[in-house]
Amino acid sequence: MRTAGLDIGSRTVKLVVIEQGETVLTRKGLTSHDPLEAARALMEGVNYDTIVATGYGRHLLKEHLDCPVISEIKAFALGAKAIYPTCRVILDIGGQDTKAISLNEAGEMSKFEMNDKCAAGTGRFLEIMAAALGYTLEEFPKAALSAGRFEKINSMCTVFAESEVISLTAKGAARPEVALGIHRAIVSRSTTLLKRIAPSGEVFFAGGVALNGCVETLIAEDLGRPVFVPPDPQMVGALGAALHALKSGGREDATP
């Protein structure tokens, strides 16, 4: 059986197709203002027997494709377990959400925590702060890692943090030091969630922000725990959805 998982996130749409336990196709696109169209474009010409949707746009897809949906929390739990069977702690930092998930011995979800409704400390926050400092997303973590000290960013609200960054640079603060301060702010927020649900154990770090090497390094430092980033961290949710499609045969929703 060939099953597909579609993860419609706030910033990107991801598609994974699996067959005989192997990933045979991955695709990624921007969500844009029209997530349904973005999903359709991604699925163009792709064959599968059954599909499951996840991500914040999952219900939109359910309405239009009549496909089952699972929450992204469950999708990340399933995907992470498949990639790294012994993992018990997952951190997913996406475009607008941060999620910390702990798994029990059987690899089932046991606890999870999510950030509040605002996008503070998520991928979108990083994007805006990088832009405020005039860095590309590739340059941003490298610059931060090059700093020997950091400027503390007090506000986690994107709007306030941006004005804080502007006033720091206006005072002549070194850009890399401000960059490091921003990364530290994100990390402390994420590790607080992690410590609440799982006080120990290696962290499986996924989502778009896992591509940021500085965040990865700082999480490991802050927790004093190893951090594992899978080769394609943005695909974990879509993989989880595809795995769920395989398990359920696309017959029913995980959520009854």
Partner 1 sequence: MSDYTQMWSDLGLDLKGHDALLSVLGGAYQDIFLSQKNRPEGMKYFDFVMSEVHGLRIKELMDAKAQGRIVVGSYCVFVPEELILAVDGVSVGLCAGAEFNFEGAEEVVPRNLCPLIKSAFGFKRGLVCPYLEASDIVVGENTCDGKKKSYEVLGPMVKDLYIMDLPQMKSGPGRALLKEEYAKFLTRLEEKSGRKVTAESLKKGIATVNAKRQAVKRLAELRKADPAPISGLDALLVNQVFFYDDPVRFTASVNTLCDELEERVKKGEGVLPKGTPRLVISGCPMAVPNWKVPFIIETSGAVIVGEESCVGERGTRWLTEAQGATLPEMLDAVTERYFNIDCAVFTPNPSRIDHVRDMFGRYGARGVIHYSLQFCQPYLVESGPVETALEGSGIPVLRLETDYSQEDMGQLKTRIEAFVERIHQG
For binding to partner 1 (CB under 8 A), which residues are involved?
A: 56, 59, 70-74, 97, 108-112, 114, 116-117, 253-256
For partner 1, the closer of residues 71 and 191 by Cβ is 71
CB of 47 or CB of 154, closer to partner 1: 154
Q: Which long-range contacts (CB under 8 A, 24 or more apart) does 24-30 make?
A: 26/232, 26/235, 26/238, 28/234, 28/235
For residue 91, the cross-strand partners are 100, 205
3-class DSSP state for residue 256? coil
Which of 103, 214 has the CB closer to partner 1? 103
Selection from 159, 6, 126, 10 nearest residue 69 by Cα: 6
201/213 with CB nearer partner 1: 201
Shortest Å distance, C-beta 5 to partner 1: 15
Q: How near is the Cβ of 165 to partner 1 at its closest, in Å? A: 24
Least distance (Å) between residue 84 CB and partner 1: 19
Q: Least Å distance between CB 94 and partner 1?
A: 11
Token pair in block for residue 41: 């474009």
Q: Closest distance between partner 1 and the C-beta of residue 80, in Å?
A: 14
Query: Considering beta carbons, is residue 123 or 181 the nearer one to partner 1?
Result: 123
Which SS3 state, helix, strand or coil, does residue 131 take? helix
Cα–Cα distances (Å) from 56 to 59, 126, 201, 203, in that order, read 8, 19, 28, 23
Pairing of strands 12-19, 22-30: antiparallel
- Sorted by sequence, the CB contacts under 8 Å of residue 225 that are 6+ apart come out as 200, 201, 202, 203
